Every structure is written in structure tokens, then in C-alpha cells.
Amino acid sequence: MKKYHLLILCLFTALMAWGNDSTYTAYKIKAQFIGGYLYPHDKSIIEPLTKGPMLGGEVAFEWGADGSKDWHKDFNNPDVGLALQVIDLGNPDVAGQMIGVYPYVSIPMVKNDIVSFNAKIGGGLGFATQPCDVAAAMADPRSIKQKAGDYNFAIGGPVNFAISAGVSLDVKVHKNLALTADIMYNHFSSASLAQPNGGLNMFNGYLGVKYLVNKGELKKEKGEIEDLTKQQNAESPNHQITESPLKRWSGEVIVSGGAKKLYYQDTQYFGCASLNLEGYYHTCRQHRIGIGFDLFFDDAYQQTVAPDANGTYSWTNEFTKFKRTCTPDNNIANKLRLGFNIANELTIGKVGIFAHVGIYLYDPVKNMEPGDKALDALNGKGEPIKKGLFYGYDIQDEDGWNYFRIGVKYHITPHFLVNVSFKTHLQKVEFAEFGVGYSF
């Protein structure tokens, strides 16, 4: 699923669009019907939840950009919205409903007086009405696969993170009314702050109406501002007005931290942290690409196996009951990973929306997964696991050689920023992190 996040960001930057509408609508109120389906990315625990179609509704309030800021014009005068949605997950007895609250930006790619075709991205919080009954699930002696149809192993807690991305179409049928249609991908996950954390991936269609109020004229376009600047410079040669040149190169250092639960039968939280050093090239004012290094710390890689009196290793429940990583000792080296990443970032004023794709250069965990095979090798029943930089893997049994990071950053000042991001292995979130950084 994370490949779609990167693709959407690339589309945003490649299709910046054109327009000929000299007006804007300051405020818009939207109401839509939602229908869709749940994608079973993990067939053992998600597929049992897909009993029927997902139906719901959304209402949103939007603010229209008036062209007064550079980023308004950079993105063809987008709309910024705040939405409230309720989606029935198609299995009310087990999964219940998901209530989402999220801000978003809708960027026109094709726009005229009648039609606006937009790229839309947002993120916020989701509230599950029926998360997993962890106590009952733990008391049930069956395996997860056997009892997945009776418990919501996709969502482990009531509060979740939400990501929404897709395209929308507005067709004006009256000066104050437009018909709307969206195609959206919605993701809900606790980001391992609660377990179980299978996550929900939805593909939804939206149909509705939008009421337009308080229409006005856009501020002067860039070309008109440049002409006015030249005229003012000619009239006042001693007080020249110039545009700031585009800064082509920049760098950032970001320190982040978070916490996670490893398994639904555990109560312990483990600390996580990262140090990111990134260098960027600005292709234009609204986009930049970069390369960088990440140092990760994950305290969840505690000792999971221990020897008995005969020297035979077996699983221990001292720290976790999760039998995925065969870790023979509690060593700091097992908790560190070093990665190299390629970054793609969309810049909207003071906000940056980013996606990183990385590979591990140092990863001691890879030779401890899958856990059963690593445990057999430790007891002399098989060959030790020795993986190279790239290797085939099953995401259900191991993290793999690559990682992804998606998130949002906000520049408080030109140099200081805050960010929230999610580190994942394919569709599985390792942890959510919150951080501060310095841009230079």
C-alpha cells in the first residue's frame, strides 16, 4: 500500500495543472455518500472482516485560496478542508464503524468556470466504535487464524491514525451549487500504539453536493505582480523590489521518538527513536527530492530466547510473547539499524508532505527472522541465516531489507520544524514518531 503513497506524491508534483477561472469561493460546504470495500491485505485476519460493502457519509467545510500567497498560485489556488466521516465497516457485529476527522488539501489539476478535477490528500484521526476485545481474544485458546472471524484483529484500540488520498471531481450546476465525486484510498491504523494492529485499507467512492458561498475575485496573478514590480522599480529606482531567488540546495537534521506495543498479548510499551540526516535538491518551489541516512533505535528487540541447563535455546516470555524474532541476548546492537533513503517531498507553504524509500545498510535483525528458522539454527538443527543486502522475504514472517517513511512536517520558523511520521515495512507499521528538526 505504501507504493501508492509515493505514486500520489509524484502525481501531485507532475500534474500542477492550469486554470482560467479568475474567481474563487471563500467557503464551501460539502455532503457526500460513501460506498466501498475493504482490501484484505492480510488474508488471515482481514479477510474474515469483509462480510459486506462499506457504506457511510461525510460532511466537510472548505476554505478557498484567494491567491494572496505564493503557494496558492503554486498549486492553482487549492481548497483546504476539514472533514468528518462515518463508515460502517460491513461487519457491524465484529468491526463496528470508523469515525474519521481529518484536514485535507484539494489541489486543482484541471480547472475552469464549470469543472475542477483535483488531487486530494489528508490525514487525521479515526475513532473505532468496536476495536478488538483483547481480553476475550487472549482468553480464547484458538489460534489467531481460527478466531479472526470473531475478533477485530485489524484495529486494537479506539484511537487511530488516518490517511486519505485520491482524486475528486466538482461540476458546477448553479452559481452556488456543484455536484461532487471522489475516488479515495483510506487507511486507518493505530501505528502499533495499540495491538493488534492489522490496519484497514479501504477503496471508496464518494458522491454528493457542494454548496458555494461568498464568491470573490482572485488576487493578482503572478504575471500581473511581476509587471507591477517592474513598474514600481522604474518609478522608484532607489527602492528596487526583487523576487527572492529559489534556494536549490538545503539540508535537514530531525530527531524523533515514539513508542509501540509489539504483540496483542503484551502489556509493555517499547521506546523507539530515529535520527534523520537529509540533503535536498529543490526542483521548484513546491517540490524537492533528496537522499539521506537514518539511524533507528527500537527497544522491542529484547531477548526472546534463552538456553536451559543443557544449552538448548527455547522461547522466553520475559519481555514479549511475540515469536517472530529470535534474539538470543539483550544487546544494544540488536536494537540499532542504519539505512539509506531516497526522499520525495511536496512543499505547500510551511507544510511538507514527504515519502522516503529506504534500504538497510546495517540490520542485525534480518538474520534473526523468521524466528522459528533462526531458533532451529541456534540449536544446531539447521544452517545459520545469512542474508545479503537484498533478499526475498515474506512480510508476514520478517521485516525485509527495505523500509518506508511517510509523514508531514511544519516549519515553525525558516529553520526550526516539527514533524510526525510513520515508519513501515511494506503495509506493516513499525512505529509512529514525533520529532523536531533543524533546516539549513
Q: What is the pLDDT of residues 403-432, one digit of tens each?
A: 999 999 999 999 999 999 999 999 888 999
Tell me the average pLDDT across 17-31. 71
Pairing assessment for the beta strands 313-315 and 402-411 based on DSSP bridges: unpaired
How much is the pLDDT for 360? 98
Average model confidence (pLDDT) for the chain? 89
> pLDDT tens digit string along 255-281?
999 999 999 999 899 999 999 999 999
How much is the pLDDT for 238? 53
C-alpha–C-alpha distance, residues 161 and 164, integer Å: 10
Q: State the CB neighbour count (10 A cutoff) for residue 239.
A: 8
Instruction: Give the three cell numbers for residue 428.
Output: 506493516
Beta bridge partners of 352: 347, 409
pLDDT band, very low/low/confident/very high, at 247 (cuts 50, 70, 90): confident
Tell me the average pLDDT across 69-82. 91
pLDDT band, very low/low/confident/very high, at 228 (cuts 50, 70, 90): very low
pLDDT at 137 over 90: yes
Q: State the CB neighbour count (10 A cutoff) for residue 28.
A: 22
C-alpha–C-alpha distance, residues 88 and 91, integer Å: 8
> pLDDT tens digit string along 148-179?
999 999 999 999 999 999 999 999 999 899 99
pLDDT at 394 over 80: yes
Closest Cα partner for 254 from 20, 387, 433?
433
DSSP code string of 117-142: EEEEEEEEEEEESS---HHHHHH--S
pLDDT band, very low/low/confident/very high, at 398 (cuts 50, 70, 90): very high
> pLDDT tens digit string along 105-118?
999 999 888 999 99
How much is the pLDDT for 424? 94
Tell me the average pLDDT across 361-371. 96
Instruction: Give the three cell numbers for residue 303.
Output: 531477548
Beta bridge partners of 281: 249, 289
User: 407-411 long-range CB contacts below 8 Å, 24 or more apart?
Assistant: 407/353, 407/354, 408/123, 408/351, 408/352, 408/353, 408/354, 409/254, 409/351, 409/352, 409/354, 409/437, 410/350, 410/351, 410/352, 411/350, 411/351, 411/352, 411/439
pLDDT at 189 over 60: yes
C-alpha–C-alpha distance, residues 284 and 267, integer Å: 47
3-class SS of residue 193: coil
Closest Cα partner for 410 from 351, 368, 364?
351
C-alpha–C-alpha distance, residues 349 and 135, integer Å: 46
How much is the pLDDT for 16? 41
- Domains of the chain in start order, with CATH, are 2-217 (2.40.160.20), 249-439 (2.40.160)
pLDDT band, very low/low/confident/very high, at 240 (cuts 50, 70, 90): very low
User: In the chain, what percentage of residues exceed pLDDT 90?
Assistant: 74
pLDDT band, very low/low/confident/very high, at 73 (cuts 50, 70, 90): confident
How much is the pLDDT for 287? 95
Q: Which residues contact 167 (CB under 8 A, 6 or more apart)?
A: 117, 118, 119, 120, 182, 183
Cα angle 411, 414, 420 (rounded to 5 degrees) comes to 20
Q: State the CB neighbour count (10 A cutoff) for residue 436.
A: 15
Instruction: Give the three cell numbers for residue 58.
Output: 461525510
pLDDT at 7 over 70: no
Closest Cα partner for 160 from 436, 418, 432?
432
